[in-house]
Amino acid sequence: MIKNPLGRKLPVLAFFIATAALAQTTGPVANGPLPGPFPLFPADNWWNLDVSSAPVDANSDAFIAFINNGGTVHLHPDLGGDIQGAAPRIYGMPYGVVDGTQAKVAVKFHYWQESDGVDHITGVSFPFYPIPDEVKTQAHWVEGGEPGGQNLYKGDRHLLIVDRTNLYLYELFNVFWNGTQWTAGSGAFFDMKTNNRRPEGWTSADAAGLAILPGLIRYDEVSGAGEIGHAFRFTVRATNGYVYPASHTAGSTTGALPMGARLRLKAGKDISGFPAQAQKIFRAMKKYGIIVADNGTDMFIGGTYDNR
């Protein structure tokens, strides 16, 4: 209860504060609070499985040697905030949060045969994705930082949208507003209350066919009191087929890891010399590991766009 110095209650101020808090959880919000429960998706989802006791693959040393490529490849945190002097460009993966009343729009896809929101007989898209109008003109909704209607810097241009009301996740790859309609390379829908996997052979907004958001490192979980409860998304320069839980292949390079493969930080690795927040990330890598989600640069670990 809020009181003034004379001890009288101030219900009007209390109402304003409550209203302001409510406003943060209604309507479209870029990079706003995500709805729980956490971690995202069910406890038995592949992102949230404890693999600390899982047996080591017989080809483990060969896979690591392939990644190291004759040297030593280090982890790279692919997360963060604004790129100084290069506005609106950013590090990390942004996302948006909407409620269940957000109007749906149709998206025209290049890979429509493996995308959701499409009549797969005719190839015609229908209103399916809850993309707010703000994405067309505002920065920091689309990966890379540019508004949806601007594409000067190219890149993967992922767009991740969470429906907080229904716990739905919509993810798009190479999204763009062309002034008339939304276009994208591919698009995928995930009900975060279930373990719905993509159909065999289908991509998602990530080459492996996996959801992106549940594998990102977030500020709230790194800085919070509890431990991080999920694996992380990461990339390698080349892949070879796919394994469960991935559903899609994007390469056949001999010796490379398959999409969906999981690496794990060795239990005996001494992490005591790292900052506390880094130690929390490394503990999650020991318990849940990191999952190959896309081709890119070796050992880039994905995180959200967040200036904190």
Chain length of the chain: 308
Strand partners, 305: 80
**Euclidean distance between CA atoms 301 and 286, whole angstroms:** 14
Tell me which residues of the chain have a pLDDT lower than 50: 1-24
Q: Are 78 and 300 in contact (CB under 8 A)?
A: yes
* pLDDT tens-digit series, residues 242-265: 999 999 999 999 999 999 999 999
State the CB neighbour count (10 A cutoff) for residue 117. Answer: 22
Q: Look at residue 19 in the predicted model and tell me its pLDDT.
A: 37
Q: What is the dihedral of CA 124, 128, 130, 134, to 10 degrees?
A: 10
Helix (H, G, I), strand (E, B) or coil at 63: helix
State the CB neighbour count (10 A cutoff) for residue 30. Answer: 17
State the CB neighbour count (10 A cutoff) for residue 42. Answer: 13
**Euclidean distance between CA atoms 12 and 44, whole angstroms:** 45
Q: Look at residue 26 in the predicted model and tell me its pLDDT.
A: 78
Q: Is 152 exposed, middle or buried (0-12, 13-18, 19+ CB in 10 A)?
A: exposed
Q: Are 265 and 231 in contact (CB under 8 A)?
A: no
Tokens of 125: 């898209």
* pLDDT tens-digit series, residues 147-166: 999 999 999 999 999 999 99
The per-residue DSSP string of 121-168 comes to: TT--B-S-B---THHHH-SSSSTTS--TT--SS-S---EEEEETTTTE
Q: Which residues lie below 8 Å from residue 140, measured CB to CB, with a gap of 6+?
A: 30, 31, 88, 90, 94, 305
The per-residue DSSP string of 157-169 comes to: --EEEEETTTTEE
Q: Look at residue 182 in the predicted model and tell me its pLDDT.
A: 98
Helix (H, G, I), strand (E, B) or coil at 91: coil
Strand partners, 199: none
